[in-house]
Amino acid sequence: MPRRALALAAATILAAAGLVAGATPASAAVVSLGSVVPVPATVQAAAGVTYTLPAGAAIQTDAGGAAVGTYLAGILRPSTGFALPVTTASGTPTSGIALLLSGADASVGAEGYQLDVTASVLTIRAQTAAGLFYGVQTLRQLFSASVEARTVQPGPWEVAGGRIIDRPRYAYRGAMLDVSRHFFGVDVVKRYIDHISQYKLNTLHLHLSDDQGWRIVVDAWPRLTSVGGSTQVGGGPGGFYTKAQYTDLVAYAAARHVTVVPEIDMPGHTNAALASYAELNCDNVAPPLYTGTAVGFSSLCVGKEVTYTFVRQVLTELAALTPGPYLHIGGDEAHSTSDADYRTFMNRVQPFATALGKTVMGWHQLGQADHTPGRIAQFWGTTTSDADLSAAVAKGDKVVMSPANKAYLDMKYTNETPLGLSWAGLIEVQTAYSWDPATLVPGVPASAVLGVEAPMWSETLTQLAHIEFMAFPRMPAIAEIAWSPQSARSWDTFRVRLGAQGPRWTAQGISFYRSPQVPWATAPPTGGRVEAESYTSQSGVQIVADAAAHGGNRVGYIDAGDWIGFSGVSVAGRTGFTARVSSGGTGGTIQVRSGSATGPLLGSVAVPNTGGYGTYADVSTGLSAGTGSLFLVFTGSGGGLFDIDDFALTGATPPATNLALNKPATADSRCATTEGPEKAVNGTTNGGNADKWCSVGASKWLRVDLSASTAVGRVVVRHAGAGGESAGFNTRDFDLRTSVDGTTWTTVAQVRGNTANVTTSTFGPVTTRYLRLDVITPTSTSDQAARIYEFEAYAA
């Protein structure tokens, strides 16, 4: 039967978020300084140093940093429960948190910052308030993910010691939101501003007009909004911003160091204006309002003088509301305007913007027209050569890179993505991340690239949850391209850092796409309730936003034969199953199976009609003995059977099994014949100083063959101190990698600045046969021997 999920107007389609209802994301270890997104320019960890935020701490600022201090307090107070007063710094603060506009390294420039963490004080220094703000964005990622919660969470609130000196690669770091195809209200746009500023983007490009709608009041042309703003794609009611609302948005953005760039697209993409005023049409006949998604059919009448009166008055009113330096005049897909008319139109219109003291910005087709001082061409092509872009650069334009096949956030992730389009291609996270603006288009020199922007067109997007699903995790990927040095970027390390953002987004209530390319950090399921949307595999189901659901989402669109699997949830020792369900349909049955969707049946429970979707009831069943991971299989008559919010398994939790115990192990070398790699997997640390793997090789690595592919989500390493040696010999810096064939390796965890005797790294879980530990820095002393007393691997 047709799935309810395919009707966008009827469904909110989200990505999987939280795991355990009511629980905060796990944070077993202090976040390392270099694990943030975007990756900082330089990081220097201080071994053995940790700052713990005390309950009585204050946020101390100088005069220029007070607003940023208040912003930081607004983030930290709800989750910590601390008062955190914002006070004026006197001298050099020696405790609490300090935000200072002095003393920063000269290299940070106008938007960079220096972050210093000692055991007693956490200090951010910058040359501007913007720099302090971006330092705060890094700081919030150095606290555990639960700092993003809006209710009090358990501490301690720790930050790893050391120094970060950071600055952006590009001055223009943007995101675009199309509010014309579908209109989004002020609160939605503010939420998106919060999202983009969190990842150090500094520009919001608002696409305010198109064929389907005009979204900003223009006093001289009131029918633009009363008529042109009255609909949207699909025929909905549309909407528009009053001047007061737009001014409020601009101010909200400015407080987060985001510049708003308004776009009035012209001469094409203008049907909403043409439908509002007949005189803007060459035949003086207003076309009907348009609610479809075709492009290229509309054009202002280039030969009529009223057209230029219209444009001048629109830009004049918009410029008066916009303190930022740019006016975006569109210029793309003007297929109904001849080349000659296009050049005539743009050559008339561009001086209107410059006369208003604004810099002209437009899509790269603007290169056909004469150059104006400082003009910016925004490249949205999908090829590595373009005549219009080349012409723009030759004339002296700066370029903002927005290649549609890499940076368009409205493109589908995969063919199965229920939202978005695919005309520019499918854009998984690695595709969005793996490109360099400076070398993308041969003939466009690095010096011509002003920055990067990630556009979000809204033909298929109707609500905030849709925007978030398409933006996360790709928007942070584009943000790292825009901020971080190219030399610091690596897909292997980025995917690990990105995966660690998952619990943070869950705490913030962000709907996101759980790309299979990313080892998402998760809180291991416990004996408590498990969110159904935390599945690691599925067939047929989708995730739906629901304020009544415990985690804010539920698994829905369940038809007969659909299933969900949980690789990190074992059924061993479990004797009962309880699920929170709702149904406005026929109901059906939940089968509890082990190992696979066709594995042994351990129990089943009927789900009745509960009185409607969103009206919840618990259903329970006993379970027979089983082993392996949990699978829930859904049966019944037809489709739309029921929804499931969360569930609990009852019975004793089985002891975790060390998957690496006594498995074949190899290494680069050994310090002595008695200190081979087999000692790292023998299950003991109490056999004396020789009960370890030791290496003084040039490249120090340990590899364990699990003998078969299996799910691994946690690795425990017991270092020198665990075997009775000096803690100074604990492995300081190392990477953990996985491989299914022993040849191609993927980094799943990185540990930096370690001083602990035992480290625990959680990830995935991922299916792997081989595990590898690569030692980067063997100790915190001058001793160069790596010492691993035990290497353990677990499913979760």
Could you read off the pLDDT of 329-340 as tens digits, one per residue?
Answer: 999 999 999 999
Count the neighbouring beta carbons within 10 Å of the beta carbon of residue 576: 14
The reply to whether 185 falls in a domain is: yes
For the CA atoms of 38, 39, 44, 50, the dihedral, rounded to the nearest 10 degrees, stands at 50
Q: Mark whether 635 and 670 lie in a shared domain.
A: no
Q: What is the pLDDT of residues 161-194, one digit of tens each?
A: 999 999 999 999 999 999 999 999 999 999 999 9
Is 533 marked active-site? no
Q: Using CA atoms, how far apart are residues 783 and 12, in angstroms rounded to an integer?
A: 57
- pLDDT for the residue numbered 28: 39
Comparing 756 with 61, the larger pLDDT belongs to 61
CB 494 within 8 A of CB 480: yes
653 band by pLDDT with thresholds 50, 70 and 90: low
CB 237 within 8 A of CB 182: no
Q: Mark whether 339 and 441 lie in a shared domain.
A: yes
Is the pLDDT at 552 greater than 90, yes or no? no
563 band by pLDDT with thresholds 50, 70 and 90: very high
What is the CATH classification number for the domain harbouring 277? 3.20.20.80
Mean pLDDT, range 778-784, rounded to an integer? 92
Q: What is the DSSP letter of 87?
A: E
Mean pLDDT, range 353-361, rounded to an integer? 98
Is the pLDDT at 665 greater than 50, yes or no? yes
Is the pLDDT at 750 greater than 60, yes or no? yes
Is the pLDDT at 502 greater than 60, yes or no? yes
What is the CATH classification number for the domain harbouring 116? 3.30.379.10
Mean pLDDT, range 64-78, rounded to an integer? 97
Q: Mark whether 467 and 576 lie in a shared domain.
A: no
- pLDDT for the residue numbered 26: 34
Is the pLDDT at 449 greater than 70, yes or no? yes
- pLDDT for the residue numbered 11: 33
Final residue belonging to a domain, choices 600, 616, 651: 651
Mean pLDDT, range 506-510, rounded to an integer? 84
Q: Mark whether 199 and 310 lie in a shared domain.
A: yes
Structure tokens at 500: 């660690």
Final residue belonging to a domain, choices 651, 680, 697: 651
Domain total of the chain = 4
- pLDDT for the residue numbered 4: 33
Mean pLDDT, range 203-222, rounded to an integer? 98
Q: Which residues pair with 574 in a beta bridge?
A: 651
The reply to whether 26 falls in a domain is: no
The reply to whether 630 falls in a domain is: yes
Q: What is the pLDDT of residues 104-125, one digit of tens each?
A: 999 999 999 999 999 999 999 9
Q: What is the pLDDT of residues 263-278, one digit of tens each?
A: 999 999 999 999 999 9
Q: Mark whether 189 and 306 lie in a shared domain.
A: yes
Mean pLDDT, range 462-486, rounded to an integer? 96
Is the pLDDT at 2 greater than 70, yes or no? no
Q: Mark whether 145 and 237 lie in a shared domain.
A: no
C-alpha atoms less than 13 angstroms from C-alpha of 501 in its C-beta half-sphere: 29
Of 413, 37, 61, residue with least CA distance to 201:
37
Comparing 536 with 484, the larger pLDDT belongs to 484
Q: What are phi and psi of 623, to 5 degrees?
A: -125, 140
Largest CA distance in the chain: 94
Q: Mark whether 680 and 618 lie in a shared domain.
A: no
Mean pLDDT, rounded, of the chain: 90
What is the CATH classification number for the domain harbouring 637? 2.60.120.260
Q: Using CA atoms, how far apart are residues 417 and 440, in angstroms rounded to an integer?
A: 27
- pLDDT for the residue numbered 636: 93
40 band by pLDDT with thresholds 50, 70 and 90: very high
Q: Using CA atoms, how far apart are residues 553 and 58, in angstroms rounded to an integer?
A: 37
Mean pLDDT, range 194-216, rounded to an integer? 98
The reply to whether 338 falls in a domain is: yes
Q: Which residues pair with 593 in a beta bridge?
A: 601, 631
Where in the sequence is the domain holding 278, given as residue range(s)? 172-490
Q: Mark whether 579 and 673 lie in a shared domain.
A: no
Q: Which residues pair with 682 in a beta bridge?
A: none
Query: Could you tell me where the beta strands, DSSP code E, fall in 211-325?
Result: 213-214, 259-263
Structure tokens at 511: 């709907």
Mean pLDDT, range 677-704, rounded to an integer? 91
- pLDDT for the residue numbered 424: 97
- pLDDT for the residue numbered 509: 82
- pLDDT for the residue numbered 247: 98
- pLDDT for the residue numbered 650: 81
Comparing 280 with 780, the larger pLDDT belongs to 280
Q: Mark whether 600 and 724 lie in a shared domain.
A: no
The reply to whether 502 falls in a domain is: no
Is the pLDDT at 443 greater than 80, yes or no? yes
Residue 283 CB partners (closer than 8 Å, separation 6+): none
- What's 335-359 look like in SS3? CCCCHHHHHHHHHHHHHHHHHCCCE
- pLDDT for the residue numbered 759: 87
Comparing 286 with 549, the larger pLDDT belongs to 286
- pLDDT for the residue numbered 246: 98
The CA distances from residue 409 to 329, 331, 413, 454, in Å, are 21, 20, 9, 6
Is the pLDDT at 512 greater than 70, yes or no? yes
C-alpha atoms less than 13 angstroms from C-alpha of 402 in its C-beta half-sphere: 25
Final residue belonging to a domain, choices 124, 141, 166: 166
The reply to whether 285 falls in a domain is: yes
Is the bond preceding residue 40 a cis peptide, omega within 30 degrees?
no
Is the bond preceding residue 38 a cis peptide, omega within 30 degrees?
yes
The CA distances from residue 469 to 419, 461, 553, in Å, are 9, 10, 13
- pLDDT for the residue numbered 547: 64
The lowest-confidence range among 362-376, 445-459, 550-564 is 550-564
Of 354, 172, 179, residue with least CA distance to 258:
172
Q: What is the pLDDT of residues 714-744, one digit of tens each?
A: 899 999 988 888 888 999 999 999 998 898 8
Q: Mark whether 298 and 380 lie in a shared domain.
A: yes
The reply to whether 477 falls in a domain is: yes
Q: Mark whether 207 and 301 lie in a shared domain.
A: yes
Among the listed residues 333, 468, 480, 531, the single catalytic one is: 333
When computed from its CA atoms, the radius of gyration of the chain, rounded to whole angstroms, is 28
Is the pLDDT at 201 greater than 70, yes or no? yes
Q: Mark whether 152 and 176 lie in a shared domain.
A: no
pTM for the whole structure: 0.70
Is the pLDDT at 685 greater than 90, yes or no? no
The reply to whether 503 falls in a domain is: no
Mean pLDDT, range 381-397, rounded to an integer? 96
